[in-house]
Amino acid sequence: MLNPLAAGSRLVRRTIAWQVIAVAALALALFAKGSAWAVAAVAGGAAITAGGALYGVLALGGGIAPAAGALSRLVLGLLAKWFVVIAVLFVAIAVVRLPALAVIGGVVAALVAQVLAMAGGHRNGNP
């Protein structure tokens, strides 16, 4: 039997795992440039990863609901995700003054890993 909520939760966990691995690899590569660059990459990747985890909890945490409730959870999760991402990026770049290029690199690495994780689990349209 297909359980879309369980499949969604598995997808969120798989995506987070891929993002952590990708950002860790980038941070290790940037460590040669300096520890601030490695920390900046982790901050950018952590922003996307934490936002995605929050989105997963908010969007999938309410169980089966009518369409209006499910849609409102999706929108609330999306708004919360991007609020967290923007706040963390602002703090990392403007307040802590980490290298902006490394922060954006961490964001890109996490987003590419997200796309690969979401595309990798489905073959021929079957979960």
Indicate the pTM of the whole model. 0.84
For the chain, what are the domain ranges? Answer: 4-120
Structure tokens at 83: 């609020």
pLDDT at position 105 is 97
Give the list of residues 6+ apart from residue 127 with CB closer than 8 angstroms, or none: 2, 7, 121
> Is a pLDDT exceeding 60 seen at residue 123?
no
Q: Report helix, strand or coil for 64.
A: coil
- For residue 65, what pLDDT is reported? 74
pLDDT at 4 over 70: no
44, HSE (Cβ side, Cα atoms, 13 Å): 29
- In tens, the pLDDT along 29-69 reads 999 999 999 999 999 999 999 999 999 888 887 777 788 88
pLDDT digits (tens, 9 = 90+) for 72-93: 999 999 999 999 999 999 999 9
